[in-house]
Copies of this chain bind each other. A is one copy, B any other.
Amino acid sequence: MEPLFVVKIGGNVIDDEPKLGTFLEAFGRIRGHKILVHGGGKLATTLAGKLGIAQQMEEGRRITDGETLKVVTMVYAGLINKVIVAKLQAAGCNAMGLCGADGNAILAHRRVHATTDYGMVGDVDLVSRPVFEHLLAQSDTLVVAPITHDGRGQLLNTNADTIAQEIARAMSPAYATRLIYCFEKAGVLEDAADESTCISRISPLRYESLKGHQKIFAGMIPKLDNAFEALKSGVKQVRIGRAEDLENLVGGTSGTLITLEE
């Protein structure tokens, strides 16, 4: 099977123009098929602020009313997506940008939650492998904004980590898919305050042991749970590490490898 890298970047890279430039140059150098999933960074919050649209967060998720949906659609699917595509094109990488509504690439439904109305927030139902395969046959690089749709005309704000994971899962039957989560740390740390405590490899047994000894920072637990889930559904490899270190994350010499093998 052909290799495919699915890479997720978040706000710490997107908000920092020189950092983003360096990251995209390294990303553009990955050979063959690759999909970049980007979050939104602080730009959406800043724009909403300037427009006087109050922002409400619930467990790290943005409550997305109608006006906020317009803001995130503009910022994620418009500005950030197209700036990234233009920069990759300049680096000689033939990138194509899209959101989940385009070509019906990612179908979602509005989140149902017992106590919180998240508004126009989507949970993914289906990533269309044929759509991504067809696009990858033309452009070896895709850039995905975290906006999906429900097929009935409603755009939905969707978590970028989840989108990266769902794309990786959907592509796994056809590609040897490696999923890389980039964030602001060197990897999963034993001591969140000490970058030198980066754990190089986490298997299920090690994960249980680390959790048992409270050695995993609470914020990492959903990421790691998702990583193991992705591996169980066929993703070949998951790695977590620092965006600035992409080349070594791709090469396998940096960050934390999440693996099912003991």
Contacts and interface: CB of A to CB of B under 8 A. Distances in A.
Nearest to A155: B86
A87 interface: yes
Most buried by B among A85, A87, A90, A137: A85
B101 A98 contact: no
**Nearest 8 pairs between A and B by C-beta?**
A78-B78, A90-B153, A74-B74, A74-B78, A96-B103, A134-B138, A86-B149, A86-B101
Contact of A82 (B50, B79, B155): B155
Given A78-B73, A79-B70, A97 B89 contact: no
Task: Place the interface of chain A in its size category.
Answer: 35 or more
A76 interface: yes
A102 interface: yes
Given A79-B74, A147-B82, A103 B139 contact: yes
A226 interface: no
B86 A154 contact: yes
A151 interface: yes
A104 interface: yes
Number of identical monomers bound together in the oligomeric complex: 2
A98 B99 CA distance: 10
Nearest to A143: B102
Given A77-B82, A83-B155, 18 more contacts: A70-B79, A73-B78, A73-B82, A73-B83, A74-B75, A76-B78, A82-B99, A85-B149, A86-B155, A87-B153, A89-B149, A89-B153, A95-B103, A98-B98, A130-B138, A131-B138, A134-B138, A135-B138
A81 to B, nearest CB: 8
A186 to B, nearest CB: 29
A193 interface: no
A152 interface: yes
A34 B117 CA distance: 38
A259 interface: no
A98 B86 CA distance: 12
Given A134-B137, A135-B138, A138-B134, A101 B85 contact: yes
A97 B98 contact: yes
Contacts of A77: 77-79, 81-82
Given A51-B50, A82-B147, A89 B74 contact: no
